[in-house]
């Protein structure tokens, strides 16, 4: 199994999994059952989307096409210099 995507967001993990499956690539989300646990578990990096070894190159292309790590697509902007905004 090869890791193709790692996140702390369950929605993104399943979005990637379903996109891979739509492309005909079997995908698995590991760490989903650990989300409710606390204590000694790390807070980040629990969710991993993995695919079989031979499917890795095609899976990387599918994940990249989703643009989940693209910071410019973020609908929430913390930038104070947004055109048309007025500071209160």
For the chain, domains (ranges, CATH) are 2-68 (3.30.70.1530)
Beta partners for residue 7, in sequence order: 47
Strands of 28-85 (E only): list them: 28-30, 47-51
3-state secondary structure at position 50 = strand
Token couple for 67? 């643009």
Check residue 14 and give its pLDDT. Answer: 93
Element (H, E) at 42: none
CA distance 86 to 88: 6
First to last CA, the chain: 52
Check residue 44 and give its pLDDT. Answer: 59
State the Cα torsion 6-9-13-16 to the nearest 10°: -90
Residue with tokens 């790390």: 42
**Ranges of the chain with pLDDT below 50:** 73-74
């Amino acid at each position: 199994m090869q890791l193709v995507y790692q996140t702390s967001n369950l929605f993104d993990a399943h979005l990637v999994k379903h996109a891979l499956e739509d492309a005909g690539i079997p995908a698995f989300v590991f760490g989903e059952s650990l989300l409710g646990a606390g204590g000694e578990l790390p807070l980040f990096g629990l969710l991993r989307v993995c695919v079989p070894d031979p499917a890795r190159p095609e899976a990387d292309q599918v994940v990249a096409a989703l643009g989940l790590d693209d910071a410019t697509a973020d609908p929430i902007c913390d930038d104070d210099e947004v055109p048309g905004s007025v500071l209160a």
